[in-house]
């Protein structure tokens, strides 16, 4: 065991005793390394007159002119501390996140090359917590049945539910609003709204049913909501032991959707609303973009899925631009594989691409949301084959099967999520035979997925609020509840320690879950964060979590301290 007097003293205020026992064991060195360079650059206590010392307050620091902000969380004694190696000298603005509280006058602090700055923060209660609620908290708060609330999850693709509940639309007005919303592209954000080219009809009766409910939970008939505003608890214990780094993108319109690391330590992302693939150097914050020509200039721009092939090139699913795009990482050039004319309609939409095993047979999988089918690209010819794995299969009323998240095994057989309904599917690469495996939970809407090296497919059940695992050998599915209702997990990733990580589009939290023990930790994020695809870098110790903030032009890194 190695001990350092000053370091240990400093850490004792930051990390709970339980962690210290682990921290100073021979096996755990990350937190020790992090805090070892020259102790702390900035520390202090967070208090309020109501609670005294406050645990679970997120304190963020951003240096003037820097796109990088760092966040730590107060411990049980209300103490926070920023490691010196995360805070180059300069002037920093501080902000906090603690539901129900605000920082009276946000202080700035000067951090020098040496020494520790102390900044104690006194929080005050806010008069109105409504502006601090996440979409999950609105859903927990608002009156209505689960069936009435369910359509609201579609709104979160583009904005939070605060926009809905603060509106003053009557039921009649909401019908028109819903019809208008239905004609925006999926790849829209509040910073970049994109209209569909092909108009979508919305049945009046169904729009009205939703509209009449929404008019009961918004401010159309009252000045104040008539239901209690409920909040999720602040982080405690293990949920406070993290460092979060956010990298702001150079434009507010950038919408990082899928985020991946490469072998050189760069972060790559698909831009959901603009014709670029982006690259971030997390060591420096340097950002680069590589532009492609829009194949269909009058259609919504942006790509969704970003996946590497065997050679480390990136592939993009081109959404309403049609087809898939390959980005050669060596030459930095793009090659587009357009859809054939019979598939390239105004409603054609490719959200997924799976090139990982294309070296096996020269084929790349994708999907067509419009026809609810799977497509396979032949790299030699550029032609596409269409597969319907759902021939004759059961389907619930008012729904459609819709292949979404994809993974490929070593023979390039495809596994996919039926996001429209409730199944895991398989398409045989040689015969195109489809096999459908319904999830135990009805209408689970499984979304994104990853295949581990033990032949297990892990996936997020978006509508069921569960995580799932499909065992390829046993052909069986197991499910686990996520701890917070209305989380709506989008994706899941298994790390090298056997823990699952998941992100939410609705509650600004990242879930870390051990499927062996059922124990979970939820990490609150510093800002409103709509998380889509997530990635775990297993090359670091501990592992590192990466995701994009799809609505707010940032890339997010979480380093757990244990």
Q: Which of residues 400-419 bind other proteins (CB under 8 A)?
A: 400-402, 404, 419
Q: Hey, is 135 helix, strand or coil?
A: helix
Residue 231 Cα to chain centre, angstroms = 21
The rounded distance, in Å, linking the Cα atoms of 337 and 247 is 32
The secondary structure of the chain in percent helix, strand, coil, rounded to multiples of 5, reads: 15, 35, 50
Beta bridge partners of 288: 279
- Which one of residues 43, 157, 245, 520 is an interface residue with other proteins (CB under 8 A)? 157
Choose the stretch contacting other proteins; rule: CB under 8 A; options: 10-18, 130-138, 202-210, 408-416.
202-210
Tell me how far the alpha carbon of residue 12 is from its chain's centroid.
33
Closer to other proteins by CB, 367 or 529: give it. 367
Alpha-carbon gap, residue 340 to 331, rounded angstroms = 27
Length of the chain: 562
Query: Is residue 396 part of the contact set for other proteins (CB under 8 A)?
Result: yes
Q: Does 201 bind other proteins (CB under 8 A)?
A: yes
Q: State the helix-helix crossing angle for 171-181 and 204-217, rounded to 10 degrees.
A: 120
Of 103, 99, 104, 122, give the one whose Cα is nearest residue 48: 122
Q: How far is the CB of 344 from other proteins (least distance, A)?
A: 18
235 binds other proteins (CB under 8 A): no
How near is the Cβ of 435 to other proteins at its closest, in Å? 5
Does residue number 163 form part of the binding site for other proteins (CB under 8 A)?
Answer: no
Q: CB of 415 within 8 A of CB of 424?
A: yes
Dihedral sign, CA of 11, 80, 252, 233?
Answer: positive
Burial of 439 (0-12, 13-18, 19+ CB in 10 A): buried
Using CA atoms of 173, 184, 219, 527 in order, give the dihedral in degrees to the nearest 10: 180
- Is residue 197 part of the contact set for other proteins (CB under 8 A)? no
Q: Select from 124, 433, 454, 519 the one that contacts other proteins (CB under 8 A).
A: 433
- Do residues 407 and 415 lie in contact, with contact meaning Cβ atoms separated by under 8 Å? yes
- Provide the pairing of β-strand 373-378 with 363-368: antiparallel
Pick from 119, 215, 369, 464 the residue near other proteins by CB under 8 A: 369
Contact between 447 and other proteins by CB under 8 A: the answer reads yes
Q: For the chain, what is the radius of gyration of the CA atoms? A: 24
Q: Is residue 30 at the binding interface for other proteins, with CB under 8 A as the rule?
A: no
Please identify, among the stretches 9-17, 100-108, 195-203, 323-331, the one whose residues bind other proteins according to the rule CB under 8 A.
195-203
CB of 445 to other proteins, least distance (A): 7
Residue from the set 380, 392, 430, 453 that interacts with other proteins by CB under 8 A? 392
Binding flags for other proteins, 130-149, as an x/- string (CB under 8 A): -----------------x--
Whole-angstrom Cα distance, residue 494 to residue 444?
20
Q: Using the rule CB under 8 A, is 435 a contact of other proteins?
A: yes
Name the phi and psi angles at 3, rounded to 5.
-130, 150
Angle at 489 between CA 488 and CA 493, to 5 degrees: 175
CB nearer other proteins, residue 401 or residue 512: 401
Q: Is 233 in the site for other proteins (CB under 8 A)?
A: no
Smallest distance from other proteins to CB 533, Å: 13
Q: What number of chain residues touch other proteins (CB under 8 A)?
A: 55
Tell me which of 328, 385, 411, 475 binds other proteins, using CB under 8 A.
475
Chain residues 307-366 in contact with other proteins, contact rule CB under 8 A? 351
**Which residue of 4, 76, 95, 150 would you call a contact of other proteins, by CB under 8 A?**
150
Residues that bind other proteins (CB under 8 A): 147, 150-151, 153-154, 157, 178, 182, 186, 200-203, 205-207, 209-210, 351, 369-370, 372, 389-402, 404, 419-420, 431-438, 442-443, 445, 447, 463, 475-477
């Amino acid at each position: 065991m190695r001990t350092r007097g000053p370091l240990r003293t400093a850490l004792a205020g930051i990390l709970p005793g339980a962690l210290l026992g682990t921290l100073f064991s021979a096996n755990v060195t990350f937190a020790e390394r992090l805090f070892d360079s020259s102790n702390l650059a900035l520390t202090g206590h967070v208090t309020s007159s109501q609670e005294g010392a406050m645990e679970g307050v997120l304190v963020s620091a951003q240096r003037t002119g820097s796109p990088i902000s760092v966040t730590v969380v107060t411990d049980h004694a209300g103490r926070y501390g920023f490691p010196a190696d995360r805070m180059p000298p300069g002037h920093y603005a501080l902000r906090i996140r603690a539901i129900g509280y605000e920082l009276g006058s946000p202080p700035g602090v000067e951090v020098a090359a040496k020494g520790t700055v102390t900044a104690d923060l006194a929080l005050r209660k806010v008069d109105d917590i409504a502006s601090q609620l996440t979409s999950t908290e609105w859903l927990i708060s608002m009156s209505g049945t689960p069936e009435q609330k369910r359509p609201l999850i579609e709104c979160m693709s583009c904005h939070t539910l605060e926009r809905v509940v603060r509106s003053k639309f009557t039921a009649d007005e909401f019908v028109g609003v819903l019809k208008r919303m239905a004609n925006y592209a999926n790849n829209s954000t509040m910073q970049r709204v994109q209209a569909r080219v092909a108009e979508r009809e919305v049945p009046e009766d169904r729009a009205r049913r939703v509209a009449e409910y929404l008019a009961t939970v918004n401010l159309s008939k009252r000045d104040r909501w008539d239901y209690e505003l409920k909040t999720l608890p602040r982080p405690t214990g293990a949920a406070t032991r993290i460092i979060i780094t956010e990298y702001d993108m150079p434009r507010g319109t950038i919408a990082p959707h899928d985020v991946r690391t490469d072998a050189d330590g760069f972060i790559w992302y698909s831009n959901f609303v603009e014709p670029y693939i982006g690259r971030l150097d997390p060591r420096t914050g340097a950002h680069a973009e590589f532009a492609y020509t829009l194949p269909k200039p009058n259609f919504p721009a942006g790509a969704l899925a970003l996946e590497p092939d065997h050679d480390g090139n990136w592939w993009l699913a081109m959404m309403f631009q049609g087809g898939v795009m390959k980005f050669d990482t060596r030459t930095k050039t793009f090659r587009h594989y357009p859809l054939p004319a019979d598939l390239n309609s105004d409603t054609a939409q490719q959200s997924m691409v799976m090139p990982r095993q294309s070296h096996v047979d020269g084929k790349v999988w994708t999907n067509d949301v419009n026809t609810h089918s799977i497509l396979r690209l032949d790299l030699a010819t550029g032609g596409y084959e269409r597969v319907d794995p759902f021939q004759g299969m059961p389907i619930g009323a008012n729904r459609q099967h819709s292949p979404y998240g994809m993974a490929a095994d070593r023979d390039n057989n495809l596994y996919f999520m039926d996001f429209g309904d409730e199944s895991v599917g398989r398409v045989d690469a040689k015969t195109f035979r489809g096999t459908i495996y319904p999830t135990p939970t009805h209408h689970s809407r499984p979304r994104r997925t990853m295949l581990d090296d033990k032949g297990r497919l892990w996936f997020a059940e978006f509508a069921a609020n569960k995580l799932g695992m499909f065992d390829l050998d046993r052909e069986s599915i197991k499910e686990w509840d996520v701890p917070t209702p209305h989380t709506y997990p989008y994706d899941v990733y298994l790390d090298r320690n056997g823990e699952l990580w998941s992100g939410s589009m609705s509650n600004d939290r990242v879930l870390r879950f051990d499927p062996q023990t059922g124990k979970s930790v939820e990490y609150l994020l510093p800002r409103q964060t709509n998380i889509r695809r997530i990635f775990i870098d297993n090359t670091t110790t501990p592992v590192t979590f990466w995701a994009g903030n799809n609505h707010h032009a940032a890339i997010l890194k979480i380093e757990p301290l244990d």
